[in-house]
Amino acid sequence: MRPPHALWNSADGDATELLPPGSRVGDWVVTGPIGAGGWSTVYAARPAGSRPGRARVALKVMPTAGLAPLQARRIVESARREVELGRGAGHPRLIGLLESFVLTSPDRPSLEGAIVLVMERAAGSLRELVDAGAHEVDRGRLVAGICEGLVHLHRSGWVHADLKPENVLLGEDRSVKLSDFGLATELTGTHGHVPPLGTLDYFPPERWRAPLGELGVRVRPTADIWALGIIIHEVFASGGSPFPGATPMARGAAVQEYGQGRAPLRMDQAVPPFWRALTADCLAPTHEARAPHTAESLLVRIAAHRDASGAGRRGTRARAAVLATALYGIAGATLSSDAVRAVPPAPPDRAGAAPPRTVQVYNAERDCRGRADRDPRCSLGLAIDPVRPYTAENVVPTRVWHGDVLGTDCQVWDGETIIDEEDRRSTRWFRVRLPSGPEPRTAWLPAVRARERPALPECS
């Protein structure tokens, strides 16, 4: 996916944007373009009217009008794969699919019958981060996130087949999400088949020589491992490829020379020793040599390295702080130190109504779960509004700690997405009651911060 310099309506040839800001697409309104690829254009969008739900989404629009039957079938199949993965193999490291539909657009014939995928909106891509210089971020954590996504894909029986920095998206907290599953293939035995398409710079040596059969080109999970090796090198070498050449075809020729044993693997000296060794294993010249280095085994090595260097714990702390500024009452926060004490269930009223429900606060940080001193660094924030970003400006003064019991009366399902330190993700929020003290008297607790999740009515 590349940034869209211009989005022309080639069917009309009138140099107008296909979907200018303000265009209505189903229940969504386009706010601007994000990027364009060979088969699709991605737009930022917001809900139309008063439709509840996420405020930020990405619309992937895949036109089919005017295409040859074979091309149209490829687009339909690509969309089917994305829908199947987005809904059936959901994971925090895969971009989420919210809905899909076929566009009816009588006023724009070029978009009539286009397939639209409504997806989570990311803050950017790994390519943008690499191009801007990734020196001040935890690059090891980014690579680990890609591995986590590949572990899930491969365990689920899929090969991404087009892994590259453009298809590694980053959340506002720099969380990693693999995307663009248009070429992903489900394994049948040890292989899958993909069309003769993809990004040349990330093809393994065997892909250059693979015959094109009736079902396409055969690929295996080791093709993703090769692409991962190229990505690791780019992350640590400011975007540089380990294979020389001024064009993708020239670099592809260097890959083939290496794969046939006629050239060594030359990596940039900027790649640190541990990551050089990991990259070399990912870039083993044959499928057989790469096969032992699965995404799972690579992730184990990365975790061990980060634990040994202390980066793992620092990375988790940093991610938690970026994820929600309000999680910890430190760094000169202006929040008061009001504490929520356990709220016992109220007795039934005289009419025999059921007592209010309660939720118990859960802190994913192990060190904080074992403390009883209510250290401010282990405090958690409660939101003012569950559909706004979970930042310091959207947090009530009252703090809570692991084990606190809060009264609750209702819930919302489509609030802001929250990911905790254990990578549990939820858009569900509970409205909780606060003790007497500063206003407001109610606040919102994300479901990932609750030990149990009671059945509650929807908040009005």
| Higher-pLDDT residue of 318, 213 | 213
Least confident of 30-34, 148-152, 212-216, 272-276: 212-216
CA torsion sign, 435 to 440 to 441 to 444?
negative
**What confidence score (pLDDT) does residue 326 get?**
27
Percent of the chain with pLDDT over 90: 34
Contacts of 97-101 spanning 24+ positions with Cβ under 8 A = 98/53, 98/54, 98/57, 101/26
Residue 214 CA to residue 224 CA, distance in Å, equals 22
60 known ligand binder: yes
**What value does the mean pLDDT take over residues 170-193?**
86
**What value does the mean pLDDT take over residues 121-127?**
90
CA torsion sign, 178 to 301 to 207 to 210?
negative
Contacts of 200 (CB under 8 A, 6+ apart): 248, 249, 251, 252
**What value does the mean pLDDT take over residues 293-320?**
72
SS (H, E, C) the chain: CECCCCCECCCCCCCCECCCCCCEECCEEEEEEEEECCCCEEEEEEECCCCCCCCCEEEEEECCCCCCHHHHHHHHHHHHHHHHHHHHCCCCCECCEEEEEECCCCCCHHHCCCEEEEEECCCEEHHHHHHHCCCCCCHHHHHHHHHHHHHHHHHCCEECCCCCHHHEEECCCCCEEECCCCCCEECECCEEEECCCCCHHHCCHHHHHCCEECCEEEECHHHHHHHHHHHHHHHHCCCCCCCCCCCHHHHHHHHHHHHCCCCCCCCCCCCCHHHHHHHHHHCCCCHHHHCCCCHHHHHHHHHHHHHHHCHHHHHHHHHHHHHCHHHCCCCCCCCCCCECCCCCCCCCCCCCCCCCEEEEECCCCHHHHCCCCCCHHHCEEEECCCCCCCCHHHEEEEEECCCCEEEEEEEECCCCCEECCCCCEECCEEEEECCCCCCCCEEEEEHHHECCCCCCCECC
Alpha carbon distances (Å) from 198 to 1, 161, 221: 12, 8, 15
- The closest of 396, 354, 318, 389 to 139, measured between CA atoms, is 318
Give the pLDDT confidence of 313-372 residue by residue, as tens digits.
Answer: 444 443 433 333 223 332 222 233 333 433 333 333 334 444 458 999 998 877 788 777
Beta bridge partner(s), residue 100: 117
- The closest of 186, 187, 184 to 198, measured between CA atoms, is 184
- Domain 124-315 in this protein, CATH class: mainly alpha
**What value does the mean pLDDT take over residues 409-424?**
79
Does residue 8 carry a pLDDT above 50? no
**What confidence score (pLDDT) does residue 173 get?**
75
- The closest of 167, 5, 144 to 85, measured between CA atoms, is 167
Mean pLDDT over all residues of the chain? 80
CA atoms within 13 A on the CB side of 25: 35
Confidence of residue 260 (pLDDT cuts 50, 70, 90): very high
Q: Where are the domains of the chain?
A: 24-120, 124-315, 324-449
Give the pLDDT confidence of 46-67 residue by residue, as tens digits.
Answer: 888 765 555 678 899 888 877 7
Residue 360 CA to residue 449 CA, distance in Å, equals 8
**What confidence score (pLDDT) does residue 318 get?**
39
With beta carbons less than 8 A apart as the criterion, state whether 366 and 351 touch. no
Residue 425 CA to residue 448 CA, distance in Å, equals 7
Q: Rounded to two decimals, what is the model's pTM? A: 0.63
**What value does the mean pLDDT take over residues 244-253?**
94
Does residue 147 carry a pLDDT above 80? yes
**What confidence score (pLDDT) does residue 100 get?**
85
**Terminal-to-terminal C-alpha distance of the chain:** 40
**What value does the mean pLDDT take over residues 229-247?**
95
Superfamily of domain 24-120: Phosphorylase Kinase; domain 1 (3.30.200.20)
